[in-house]
Homo-oligomer: A and B are copies of this chain.
Amino acid sequence: MLKEYFKSQMQEFRNVIYMLLGYKIDRTQNSLYKLRSMYAEQPDDQLCFQVNKEGDLNLLENEFSATLEDMINLHLRHQKSIPVFLSAITMDLFNNKTMTKTFQIE
């Protein structure tokens, strides 16, 4: 019963994170986190972060991250901010979706 209660609490928290910050976050293995954006163009587009020995998070390379080279350089390498990186992606994907919609309407 207690286990079910905590599981439901965790699930509720994950849903609120998704509604607030726009990312569905899953921990697939120990210290590996997968993020999928609410505004993703493809359902498979996800970003994976791994916690290293120092407790820092590192972005792992995949097909989707390879399309984000400019944002990785600016926000992760230069500004050194994962929150700014993920925020920039949210705004970018949202703007792309809205623009596509606008073109379809016109």
Contact = CB atoms under 8 A, between A and B. Distances in A.
A64 to B, nearest CB: 16
A19 B52 CA distance: 13
This protein's copies in its complex: 2
A73 interface: no
23 contacts: A2-B2, A2-B6, A6-B6, A6-B10, A9-B10, A10-B13, A13-B13, A13-B27, A16-B25, A17-B21, A17-B25, A20-B23, A20-B82, A20-B83, A21-B23, A21-B86, A21-B87, A22-B83, A23-B83, A39-B83, A79-B94, A84-B91, A87-B88
Interface residues of A, number: 35
Interface of A: 2-3, 6, 9-10, 13, 16-17, 19-23, 25, 27, 33, 35, 38-39, 49, 51, 56-57, 79, 81-84, 86-88, 90-91, 94, 98
